[in-house]
A and B are shown apart, each in its own frame.
Chain A
Amino acid sequence: MRSTAAYVLQYWFFYLKGGRAHTPLHEQFLRQIAMCSSSRKISRRRFLSLSAAAAAGALLYKTSPTFAQASDRSAQGLRPQTARTGVIRVGWEAVKRLDPAFASSDSEIAFLTAVYDYLVDVTTTDAVSPRLAESWRVSEDGRQYTFKLVPNAKFHDGKPLTAEDVLYSFNRLRDPAVGSPKISLFDNLEQISAPDDLTVVFTLKTTEPDFIYSITDNSAVIVRAGATNFETEFIGTGPFKVERYIPEDRTLFVANEDYWQSGLPYAAGMEHRYLDSNAAIEALRGGELDVVLRMPNARFVALQNDPNLQTVTFPTSGHDALRLRMDMPPGNDPRVRKALKMATNREEINAFAQLGLGSPGRDAPIGAYFADYFDPDSPLPPYDPDGARALLAEAGYPDLTFDLFVPNTGTRPDFAVVIKDQWAKAGITVNINLVDEATYYGDDGWLEVQLGITGWGARPSPQQYLDFSLKSDGKWNESRIADPELDALIVKAGTSVDRAERIAAYKAIQRKLAEDGPLIIPYFFPTVGAARKEWQFEGGFTVQAFPGRTTFTRARQA
């Protein structure tokens, strides 16, 4: 406390002398304040579990990296040196929920990714890779998944990781009393058991080849058995420990010296700064931030020319779907659905809304991202506005007018503006109703509107899009499609353990949707990221399809 007061005074004098904010001294000041308060808390906790000497040592060690970064010009030689250097500063939107069962935004998941570990991780191509589970096996009948845990993982408070923690973590997500929105992911789960301390077995009710993706879900981090105060206590096995969380401002992380993947992370610390997208981009350009992973496409394209930055972008499976209700006129007429497809120039929409960064869509939620599952030759009606006009006249709708409901976020408004112009060439009038995203999704209004543009986030498997929105009994069947043949194909794709059979089913689904579906999906979103060149990323600078899942353990300051 005394040293906090000293810093306040020092900073005040500095301020009086005309010092500016956001200088190294200011940064140091904030760090010092943060450390003074958090070190007290940690030392008390450590006092209970460790010897006093070890606690003192740990504290010294803990504080050194941030000091080294903050005052590297003045006092570097005097501080104890570690192999880890630098604090990587990442810009995110402010976090609200830090409970894994409820966290959802990129910034919240980024926080979880730093502090906790997943059992199984997704790679940037949405293949799966081992993390806390060093290996796993699927039984012959496809109903049992057996995971072997790494033997040397420890929680930040020193407790070794055991199967009990994994059981607790997953049972918490499944517990109706907790009320996690992820509960339905584990509907098919019969039971989880732990034959020994380092083995976990998931038993399914029926075969589900994509079940491994439920294990990698954003919320499925492994927490300490019995933990409940997730908004204030951040005890994981992850590569970074929370040093200080300042709501609405920043989170300071230090490297977990006892991380089970020895040598990781390379950085001494990480800082999440909570800013809006525009401020984050300016901070990145000005050298106040090292990494920004979410931004409008136009801002990203401008950053691509910045000599101080490295950028990365690739298309994901996330997309915007323009969908028409099929249970009322005019959407119940297949000629109308075909005419709308003919009146749409998807390449032009992709070029306008995604600036060519996205990948082309073919009116099905399965894109090039899913490699083998994607059918690049599905029979889409060719672009022909005059043909569309004629077809509409034939169907008895010569002067079609639509109210198009669009949530006012991302690239959806741009999509709407282009479709209005394109459909006008086929004699269709579109009135764009831009609504607040909360309004669009609130009270399930988005399920009711006749014509709407719904955004679907990136998912590691196409199955969820199909199960939720294109099956006749789907929870979010917004187009009210009810096609028994399609239902059968979706079930087959989601349960078959024969890969060739799944591929055939997915391609058949795409053919159906291209010919006569209620959806127009012109593009799949890109994921984008920009980082300063002072940081090198082992294996190259990459971003996950869900940007919050990006780890910075292999970032090294040049």
Chain B
Amino acid sequence: MRATARQRQTQPLQIVRLSMARRGRLLRRLWHDAPLSSIGALGVIGFLLLALIGPYLTPYNPTANSLSERNQPPSLAHPFGTDNFGRDILSRIIYGGRNIFALTGSATLIAVGLGLVIGLYVGYLGGWLDQIVMRLADALLALPSLLLTLVLLGALGNSRFTVLVAIVILYVPIVTRVVRSVVLDVKTKAYIEAAEIGGESRFHILFREIMPAVLPTLAVEGALRFSYAIFLVASLGFLGLGVARPEPDWGLMVSEARDWYALSPHILFFPSAAIVVLVVCVNLMADGLRRLLEYSEAD
């Protein structure tokens, strides 16, 4: 009884240990059920690859001006055209994507990690600690995200690091709450009781017994946080925060292109499209992730 219960709870983690054949079967099923999710996942991987190796592919410096090449429409030499400073828009999007992945990726990872640890502890221990931490989280959740970020940027200075701190502060309470809700459910299970009676250490119970049950939900939540973080960073860039001109930043590019939409709409279109496509892809990927975990659980 104890073994089967634990078995079921830990199964999702084992998706990485599944045989190639089973993994393939799950992916084929996902493709069949929700082709869009698969495309979203592929899109994210595509963006990631572009961010990693793209800079070595583009022949243009993303910040070099060229008076003779201003406002060129898309062409073979410049697939996305050039902007009002004669800079190659594709190169700027690639470099900008790199910054977005570095910033939002690391911020999301830190937020998810912190939220996981805090959620596990307060969920499992409960009591006054739980009350204090969750009321603090409530207070943080009540603040509008953009407002809090603006305040932080004002207090700590206008830099990427501040944006990272802001994202972490914003997302830790959300992740904590999600993790805690799963923990509250799991800790009543018999196998946890068994582990407690068996004299396992608290660390062992939290990270070996409970955490595996939390991970599926956490993976989906993490992906969602990632997409919100991209959106937040783009919004801040649009407001000219967290980045300095002439750095390529998608939000800043959109903001800079506003005056040009009547003359050269492509300057506005491509960075806007990049933001939309990436955010949609990440959301679709999150959905696919959720489905995959459901399949493997049901298997």
Contacts and interface: CB of A to CB of B under 8 A. Distances in A.
Interface of A: 278, 296-299, 301-303, 348, 351-352, 408, 413-414, 416-418, 420-421, 431-434
B296 interface: no
Contacts of B245: 413, 416-417, 432, 434
Contacts of B70: 352
B246 A299 contact: no
A348 B259 CA distance: 20
Contacts of B258: 278
Contacts of A420: 63, 246
Given A352-B67, A434-B240, A298 B246 contact: no
17 contacts: A298-B262, A298-B263, A303-B262, A348-B65, A352-B65, A352-B84, A413-B245, A414-B85, A416-B245, A417-B85, A418-B65, A418-B85, A420-B246, A421-B64, A432-B246, A434-B240, A434-B245
Contacts of A296: 259
B207 to A, nearest CB: 44
Given A352-B85, A418-B85, A299 B259 contact: yes
Given A302-B263, A418-B65, A434-B245, 16 more contacts: A298-B84, A298-B260, A302-B262, A303-B262, A348-B67, A352-B65, A417-B65, A417-B245, A418-B85, A420-B246, A421-B63, A421-B65, A421-B246, A431-B244, A432-B245, A433-B244
Interface string B59-98: 0000111010010000000000000110000000000000
Given A352-B85, A417-B85, A432 B240 contact: no
Nearest to A352: B85
A430 B74 CA distance: 30
Nearest to A348: B67
The number of chain B residues touching the other chain, given as a range, is 10 to 19
Interface string B234-264: 0000001000111000000000001110110
B244 A417 contact: no
A299 B264 CA distance: 11
A492 B262 CA distance: 49
A280 B240 CA distance: 23
Nearest to B64: A421
A298 B260 CA distance: 6
Contacts of B262: 298-299, 302-303
A301 B63 CA distance: 24
Nearest to B66: A421
Nearest to A408: B240
A301 B263 contact: yes
A208 to B, nearest CB: 41
Contacts of A432: 244-246
A296 B84 CA distance: 13
Nearest to B244: A432
Contacts of B244: 431-434
A413 B70 CA distance: 17
Contacts of B84: 298, 352
Contacts of A418: 65, 85
Contacts of B63: 420-421
Interface in B108-123: none
Contacts of A433: 244
Contacts of A348: 65, 67
Enumerate the 3 nearest inter-chain pairs by beta-carbon distance, A residue then B residue, closest first. Answer: A302-B262, A298-B259, A296-B259
A452 to B, nearest CB: 15
A298 B256 CA distance: 11
A414 B256 CA distance: 10
A75 B245 CA distance: 57
Centre residue among A298, A348, A408, A417 by max chain B CB count within 10 A: A298
